[in-house]
Structure 1
Amino acid sequence: MAPDRSDGAASCACKGIRRCLICEEVKGKGQLEAKEPKTVHYFLYNPETRLAVSKDAAAASFPFPGVFLWENFISEEEEENLITTMDQDVWNESQSGRRKQDFGPKVNFKKRKVRAGGFSGLPAPSQNLVLRMQQEPSLAGFQPVEQCNLDYHPQRGSAIDPHLDDSWLWGERLVTINMLSNTTLTMSLEQGLPKMGLAEEVRVAVRLPRRSLVVLYGEARHRWKHGIQREDVQARRVCSTYRELSAEFLPGGQQAELGAQLLNVASSFQGSPV
């Protein structure tokens, strides 16, 4: 297939409250503007101490478990080769100014149904990357069954709203490789941390250097929402997110047979975007 443009946008796939610069021009920014909470407490994640440090010294730092950052996970040459390979496939329009490529099973999360569909495996370049991930103790036994490539660009006003990834199908660890530019992953807890005297929303900024890998697990995976704000996309950014199966689809689970089939397809590393 002919490669799609990666530096602009002529159409919009936003639905509901989602938005990008294109739909803002059509509908008007004012109609789409979401109301921000009156008070937000801002913190910055320190990967060395694993603490969330207050940006304005108005609150004490606190432990922020569930984030693992691996800087320079890939080399400049690997990054270039990965992006070149991705751009040879079509980037499909997604919401909030993003474009995407999916490698994974067909899923209906509302009805809790999953099938292989057109899934033919993870892409070939990911095989060595997954082997490298598995060398990290916190990623021992990590066997991804889905890969989602996302393309962000400031010209499209790309972002992704705060959200929690599904935990019925997807397992404990969410793994993302950040490419082409630095960005910030914003972790948010709308109900705040009352025990710390923070009754309003709390946000923790996790800086993601170019070519780094980040893992979310535990509280950061299940309690804190994560997202990428528009202002944190200053240049083209491409990321690959890998997801493993939940216990329900692993040996001993109710859908272990289906899980084994999906893992067998995924591990062929001969896939093309679904």
Structure 2
Amino acid sequence: SNHLGLKLNKTEKKFLRKQTKAKHTLLKHEGIKAVSYATQSLVVANGGLGNGVSRKQLLLVLEPCGHVEALFMPPNKPYSLVRYKTVEESRKAYTTLNGKEIVDDLGQKIILYFNFVEKAQWKNLELQALPPDLKIVEEIISSEDERVLLESINWTQDTDNQNFEKSLKHRRVKHFGYEFCYKNNNVDKDKPLPGGLPDVCVSFLEKWLKEGYIKHKPDQLTINQYEPGHGIPPHIDTHSAFEDEIASLSLGSEVVMDFKHPDGVTVQVMLPRRSLLVMTGECRYLWTHGITPRKFDTIPASEQRKGGIITSDIGNLTLCKRGMRTSFTFRKVRHTPCNCSYSSVCDSQRKETPPFFPKSDMEALQLEQEHVHQVYEEIAQHFSSTRHSPWPHIVEFLKALPSASIVADIGCGNGKYLGVNKELYMIGCDRSQSLVDICRERHCQAFVCDALAVPIRSGSCDACISIAVIHHFATAERRVAALRELVRLLRPGGKALVYVWAMEQELNNQKSKYLRGNRTSQGKKEEINSDASMEGLLVKQVPDLGNEDSESSVPSINDLQEGGYQSRNITNSKLPIHTNRTSFHSQDILVPWHLKGIHDKDGVVEPFGPVRSSETSPVFHRYYHVFCGGELEAACQTLGDVSILQSSYDQGNWCVILQKL
């Protein structure tokens, strides 16, 4: 019995440790404060839509303990908030359900952790409309017609085209009328495919034309088949390739499609099975559309198959498991240049603008102050919440340094690299006072300074790191000066590791994680985008995604969903504004940062998603000079007193290791 008691004690300690960690994580990243006394309300860690727990599944656990007055399940979050009718019922749930193990729809075990909170409420939501010029026609064909269309597809015809299959490994694709080329997102208008569109489609198209659902008879068809967990990146169908109208028929399974305006407004739209989506005008030409890779979609618990807006009514959201979906997308090939009203995104009308260069050092400094220094002061807390996991190659560099080495992190941000190797003496500096304050809260040695004038004695450091800093300087001369300042700090033989954003987000046929936007790309872990538990987030953190300085798109405990944001005024109109999660088209750009995680003075989380208030959810724009291949090495070679030990590409970043001669 003594042995059993010892074992039970260890189990209890382990449980309390994880429960406390969940409480601290929710406070740090979501602003949800747990209290030590019993209340009517509880926060349920690991019991959320973001880690595969449906509303029905959670209610089956909660309701035996008492009357559930409200259950709030935020989209893409691994937690929920529940309010019972009485404190006694809430206390019973806390006592009996803490540590309860459940199994999600994928067969994975999840352990729930409960903590009392003062309030479990959500603020009133505003209504939202579909993107302009988008319409959905539900039940446009019968179940029998759906069966006929699906059975008409002969996928075996494409097996001999290995290059084609290789480029689209996450879905099966067939083209009719004209073959769509994914390398340039266009069609060869002089090479129509033999046979035209399948005969089985002709009667449907004629009926839709007659009834006014579509206005033009298509001559190009792309059929995509998506397995659960797969999707398609956000994109706009090339203007010059196709006429205005694009129609897509969904077969086999419903899906949620994400539409995004360049200003950051995101609208999630349910496409029911056997429905027709028709895009024209602004929706077709200006908004991107895509399907997030995941196995579950967040949808309203009632009217699950109804098409249209997915609201942020978190008192009525649940999960819907995806099935095998096949889409028939009909287009009409354009034979004249596009003359739409959206010239800024139109390939027919886009004019090559000369690159922007500040005319003086003062102009460059003003640009950096407005679009680097001031921005990081504003976004520091949210920026820090997305910077939790060190990158492996940077850790490898720091771990390989001799014990007791003196190392300076120039542009240390929230200090996530300052404690990687306890055998080193590390000191950090950053231009942002707010980020340095976060470092100090973490008991790291850090101070405020400019990377061009670091108040550290020359030759006093064994090593330096500069991670995602130098690309924020607005001229080539200032970028070289920043590199020269790094070298000045090093003793002879000392090494510096430098990371900058790369212009090339696709290298050697590999897309960077910044473009893919998944939590991780290692094996089956890409499914963690929607299925990860909070326990996994707490214990098994994965590296931050994409560029080493990019805004994470991971739908986790520390990442609120993008929504309806209002851009701050852009005074420097000479710089193009980059569209997040897309390839770079200019080296000097402004990159949007969507500020998230706003809480009121009582600690109540405001609704997030498409209905966020523009006043509380601004978009800030950071200046970047993205480096082309070889550009960073060339800048280093101008220094004269260094040798380049290593040059490499790391998931959308160019990196070098320098040694002072």
What's the offset of the Cα at 1:209?
A: 0.7
Give the secondary-structure state (helix, strand or coil) at the position aligned to 2:336: helix
Deviation digits for residues 117-172 of structure 1, max 9, x if unmatched?
A: 543200110101111110233523x1111000000002xx3100000001112000
- Could you tell me which residue of structure 1 aligns to residue 210 of structure 2? 135
- Could you tell me which residue of structure 1 aligns to residue 232 of structure 2? 160
Count of residues in correspondence between the two structures: 185
> Which amino acid in the other structure matches residue 328 of structure 2?
S
- Could you tell me which residue of structure 1 aligns to residue 386 of structure 2? none
For 1:151 and 1:64, the matched residues in 2 are separated by: 25
Contact 2:178-2:187 at 8 Å conserved across structures: no
- Could you tell me which residue of structure 2 aligns to residue 220 of structure 1? 283
| Cα distance change of structure 1 residues 230 and 248 upon mapping to structure 2, 3 Å threshold | same
What's the offset of the Cα at 1:223?
A: 0.9
Contact 1:106-1:114 at 8 Å conserved across structures: no
- Could you tell me which residue of structure 1 aligns to residue 151 of structure 2? 84
Deviates more, 1:160-169 or 1:239-248: 239-248
Contact 2:176-2:193 at 8 Å conserved across structures: no
- Could you tell me which residue of structure 2 aligns to residue 185 of structure 1? 257
- TM-score between the two structures when normalised by the length of structure 2: 0.26
- Of 168, 177, 180 in structure 2, the residue corresponding to residue 104 of structure 1 is 177
Deviates more, 1:85-94 or 1:99-108: 85-94
- Of 244, 269, 285 in structure 2, the residue corresponding to residue 172 of structure 1 is 244
| Cα distance change of structure 1 residues 57 and 178 upon mapping to structure 2, 3 Å threshold | farther
> Which amino acid in the other structure matches residue 219 of structure 2?
V
Contact 1:169-1:248 at 8 Å conserved across structures: no
1:19-168 to 2 correspondences below 5 Å:
57=124, 61-62=128-129, 64-87=131-154, 89-90=156-157, 93=165, 95=168, 97-106=170-179, 109=184, 113-140=188-215, 142-154=216-228, 157-168=229-240
What's the offset of the Cα at 1:190?
A: 3.9
- Which runs of no fewer than 5 residues in structure 2 stay unpaired? 1-74, 76-121, 160-164, 298-320, 339-661
- Could you tell me which residue of structure 1 aligns to residue 541 of structure 2? none
Contact 2:186-2:241 at 8 Å conserved across structures: no
Contact 2:176-2:220 at 8 Å conserved across structures: yes
Contact 1:169-1:246 at 8 Å conserved across structures: yes
Higher relative contact order (CA 8 A, sep 6+): 1
Highest Rg: 1 or 2? Answer: 2
For 1:107 and 1:238, the matched residues in 2 are separated by: 17
What's the offset of the Cα at 1:189?
A: 2.0
For 2:127 and 2:156, the matched residues in 1 are separated by: 47
> Which amino acid in the other structure matches residue 81 of structure 1?
V
Contact 2:246-2:330 at 8 Å conserved across structures: yes
| Cα distance change of structure 1 residues 80 and 95 upon mapping to structure 2, 3 Å threshold | same
| Cα distance change of structure 1 residues 249 and 124 upon mapping to structure 2, 3 Å threshold | farther
> Which amino acid in the other structure matches residue 101 of structure 1?
K
Deviation digits for residues 76-125 of structure 1, max 9, x if unmatched?
A: 00111111111465466353611111112256657985222543200110
Contact 1:96-1:160 at 8 Å conserved across structures: no
Give the secondary-structure state (helix, strand or coil) at the position aligned to 1:144: coil
- Could you tell me which residue of structure 2 aligns to residue 237 of structure 1? 325
Contact 2:141-2:274 at 8 Å conserved across structures: yes
What's the offset of the Cα at 1:229?
A: 1.3
Counting strand residues as a fraction of each chain, which structure ranks higher? 1
| Cα distance change of structure 1 residues 175 and 111 upon mapping to structure 2, 3 Å threshold | closer
| Cα distance change of structure 1 residues 249 and 79 upon mapping to structure 2, 3 Å threshold | farther
The Cα RMSD (Å) is: 2.9
> Which amino acid in the other structure matches residue 74 of structure 1?
I
What's the offset of the Cα at 1:74?
A: 0.9
> Which amino acid in the other structure matches residue 225 of structure 2?
D
Contact 2:240-2:337 at 8 Å conserved across structures: no
> Which amino acid in the other structure matches residue 207 of structure 2?
R
For 2:124 and 2:131, the matched residues in 1 are separated by: 17
Contact 2:131-2:259 at 8 Å conserved across structures: no
Deviation digits for residues 23-73 of structure 1, max 9, x if unmatched?
A: xxxxxxxxxxxxxxxxxxx9xxxxxxxxxxxx9756563563211111111
- Could you tell me which residue of structure 2 aligns to residue 204 of structure 1? 267
Task: Quote the sequence identity (%).
Answer: 26
- Could you tell me which residue of structure 1 aligns to residue 29 of structure 2? none
Contact 1:70-1:213 at 8 Å conserved across structures: yes
Deviation digits for residues 233-266 of structure 1, max 9, x if unmatched?
A: 711000100001336189xxxxxxxxxxxxxxxx
